[in-house]
Amino acid sequence: MTKNKITRRKFVAGTTGAAVSAMIVPRHVLGGVGYNAPSDTVNFALIGCGGQGKTDAGELVQGGQKMVALCDVDFGYVDREVANMTRPREGGRRAGAPAPSPEQAARMQQMMEERRVQAVKLQESFNSARRYSDFRKMLEERKDIDAVVVATPDHTHAVIGKAAMELGKHAYIEKPLTWSVHEARVLREVAARTKAVTQMGNMGHSSEGAALVNEWVQAGVIGKVTEVQVWTNRPVGYWPQGVPRPMKQSLPAAQPPQGAPGGAAMVDGWSARRVNRTLAYAMGDEGVPAGVDWDLFLGPAPEVPYHGIYHPFNWRGWLDWGTGAIGDMAAHLIDHPYWALGLTYPTSVEATFTPFGTDNKNQPVSYPMASQVVYKFPARGAQPPVKLTWVDGGLMAPRPDALPDDVPLNPGGGVIFIGEKGILVHGTYGADPRLYPQSLHEAAARVPKTYFRVETAGAGPFAQAKHRMNWINAIKGKEKATCPFEYASRLTETMLLGVAAMRAGQGKRIYYDGEAGRITNLADANRFLQREYRKGWSL
């Protein structure tokens, strides 16, 4: 191939990491600080532009990458989100909180100004990028796209990611990687086959806390670990779960099953079933708002009439589109013991939970308000089997005896590693890892830092790892992505086996053959590992 036929897109997508590193022209040579040479800029498309997508794009734009295209099914919502980026925010310290020191106040003021400047730059990028509602059309038309950032609802991650990678794009996909176990395995295969540079959007994986947890656990600071406790307060106060499907008054009321408490006598009273039916009727039905492409929102999922309780954001709690609290948060919590302990596929999973929300046919449609999922992992070499217990919905892990009475557990979420010598406790995203008894910190201080540290923005308690820029640097051959699909798919598969266990039924235990990707003891439960796509969609 002659030089004039090598396009920039093919160069970025197809060149080996070492060659890319060698050929990128240093910024200071061409244009001073802040200048990005064309070969040092990745053209990316943002698919799913509100909420988390906006945050993902912000880090990339601030890092000198170019957002060349936007794709969303509701640009009215996107425009409102973008307009809010530079809107002044009223604020103040919490009641009773001490006044900040002059140094803290100055730092906070500096941060606010930095964020304002960043928001203006991001707004400009949103306003200049071309818009699409259908990702398929965008990928077909735009040959200048090097990479995609996918921040859509869970149920469309796989179809978008697979299409992009097979067209030679690199892929950053928000957590959870996919909606189903089957989709996670497909994306792992496609990423390996296409050699795309990939990253899942669980930013705590790149944090200093995550690296410390790995180093301390693997150095044996708390001894061999046999049990892990994980908890989150989601979905409480964030999105609805355990609620009925909105329905029109004209639909027939659901009848109580045989043997229901109170039987037919309670149908006309305020039975639980009538309460749910009344809630469903109260929500009623809504027409699709102008500017929302509901058919594209549904994508491969079953056809369901639009309702404002689904979109935006609340889709997380509905089986058709989301994966519940465990799908939303386990990538920030189970991730750390899964990584630090070198866990593989669980051999068994069982769940107990509050009721699913149902439709007028008593079929589950929204995830339980609270659940407990117990995973059993096999021994790995000299490391013993591990029992990992997940709880959500405001439930908390049992307080370990080794934890001092004056040390609170964060009600928002966290992880406890229980080892032979003591315990390790950290918060969501791997934050603030601590050892008990505290004397273990002396041993921890001697553990060498063997894990790669991702560059951070900010300092001290405000520091955040640049997880998205780590992916960009991996595309350029400068670093390795910390959470590529090879790892992320297995973590996601494990998380979603918890969903499968819930859907298999209360009090049932599923046994899993990870190599085959099948539940071995309850054949019918295998249907919860994948879904039948709506007509016109395939993977």
pLDDT class for 96, splitting at 50, 70, 90?
A: low
Query: Which residues make Cβ contacts (< 8 Å) with residue 246, sequence separation at least 6?
Result: 280, 283, 284, 285, 286, 307, 309
Backbone angles phi, psi at 490, to 5 degrees: -70, -40
| Mean pLDDT across 303-330 | 97
Which residues 6+ apart lie within 8 Å of 37 measured at CB? Answer: 24, 25, 26, 27, 30, 31
Phi-psi region of 393 (alpha: psi -120 to 50; beta: other; left: phi over 0): left
Q: What is the pLDDT of residues 479-519, one digit of tens each?
A: 999 999 999 999 999 999 999 999 999 989 999 999 999 99
Supply the pLDDT for residue 165.
Answer: 99
% of the chain exceeding 90 in pLDDT: 76
Q: Averaged over 332-349, what is the pLDDT? A: 99
Going by pLDDT thresholds of 50, 70 and 90, the confidence category of residue 110 is confident
283 vs 273: CA distance, rounded Å:
16
Same topology, domains 3-204 and 208-246+285-529? Answer is: no
Enter the DSSP assignment of 243.
-
Q: Region 292-321: what's the mean pLDDT?
A: 97
Residue 292 pLDDT more than 80? Answer: yes
- For 423-491, give the DSSP string: EEEEEGGG-S-EEESTTHHHHHHTS---SPPPPEES-GGG-EE-HHHHHHHHHTTSS--SS-HHHHHHH
Q: What is the pLDDT of residue 286?
A: 84
97-111, 185-199, 372-386 — which is least confidently predicted?
97-111
Q: pLDDT per residue over 132-187, tens digit each?
A: 999 999 999 999 999 999 999 999 999 999 999 999 999 999 999 999 999 999 99
Higher pLDDT: 97 or 490? It is 490
Identify the architecture of domain 3-204 in CATH: 3-Layer(aba) Sandwich (3.40)
Average pLDDT for 428-457: 97
Position 282 confidence tier, pLDDT thresholds 50, 70, 90: confident
Report percent pLDDT > 70 for the chain.
86
**Average confidence score pLDDT of the chain:** 89
16, pLDDT greater than 50: no
Over range 346-360, report the average pLDDT: 97
pLDDT of residue 255: 53
Of 525, 536, 533, which Cα lies nearest the Cα of 496? 525
Give the containing element (helix H, strand E) for 123. Answer: helix 102-128
Q: What pLDDT was estimated at residue 111? A: 74
- Residue with the larger pLDDT of the pair 124 and 282: 124
Mean pLDDT value across residues 127-134: 97
pLDDT for res 268: 52
pTM for this prediction? 0.88
pLDDT tens digits for range 192-208: 999 999 999 999 999 99
Higher per-residue pLDDT: 256 or 337: 337
DSSP character string of 331-370: HHHTHHHHHHTT----SEEEEEESPPEE-TTS-EEE--SS
**Cβ contact 206:482 at 8 Å:** yes
Is the model's pLDDT at 423 over the cut of 90?
Answer: yes
Q: Comparing 14-18, 76-80, 167-171, 439-443, which segment has the lowest mean pLDDT?
A: 14-18
Q: Which residue has the higher pLDDT, 96 or 99?
A: 99
Q: What does the pLDDT read at residue 464? A: 92
Q: What pLDDT is attached to residue 456?
A: 95
Over range 90-98, report the average pLDDT: 54
Angle at 214 between CA 209 and CA 218, to 5 degrees: 150
Enclosing H/E stretch for 135: helix 135-141
* Model confidence at 262: pLDDT above 70: no
pLDDT for 407 beyond 60: yes
- The pLDDT of 206-234, averaged and rounded, is 99
Per-residue pLDDT, averaged over 30-52, amounts to: 75
Residue 8's pLDDT is what? Answer: 45
pLDDT score of 459 more than 90: no
pLDDT range class, residue 4, cuts 50, 70, 90: very low
pLDDT at 238: 97
State mean pLDDT over 342-359. 97
47 contacts 160 by C-beta, under 8 angstroms: yes
* Type of residue numbered 274: R
The residue extents of the domains of the chain are 3-204, 208-246+285-529
Of 75, 73, 535, 78, nearest to 294 (Cα)?
Answer: 73
Question: Rounded CA gap, 503 and 501, in Å?
Answer: 5
Q: Which two tokens stand for residue 532?
A: 């039948």
Burial label, 32 (beta-carbon count in 10 A; 0-12, 13-18, 19+): exposed
260 versus 423: the higher-pLDDT residue is 423
Q: Is 253 helix (H, G, I), strand (E, B) or coil?
A: coil
CA distance linking residue 420 with residue 412, whole number of Å: 27
Predicted confidence at residue 435, as pLDDT, reads 99
Cβ contacts of 518 within 8 Å, gap of 6 or more: 512, 526, 529
Q: What is the DSSP letter of 530?
A: S
pLDDT at 32 over 70: no
Residue 42: predicted pLDDT: 98
The pLDDT of residue 427: 98
pLDDT band at 39 (very low <50, low <70, confident <90, very high): low
Q: In this model, does residue 38 exceed pLDDT 60? A: no
Query: How many C-beta atoms lie closer than 10 Å to residue 105's C-beta?
Result: 11
Of 249 and 443, the one with more pLDDT: 443
Distance, first Cα to last Cα, the chain: 33
The pLDDT value given to residue 488: 99
pLDDT of residue 88 exceeding 90: no
Res. 288: pLDDT tops 90: yes
Q: Does residue 48 or residue 265 have the better pLDDT?
A: 48
CATH fold of 208-246+285-529: Dihydrodipicolinate Reductase; domain 2 (3.30.360)
Residue 35 has pLDDT above 50, yes or no: no
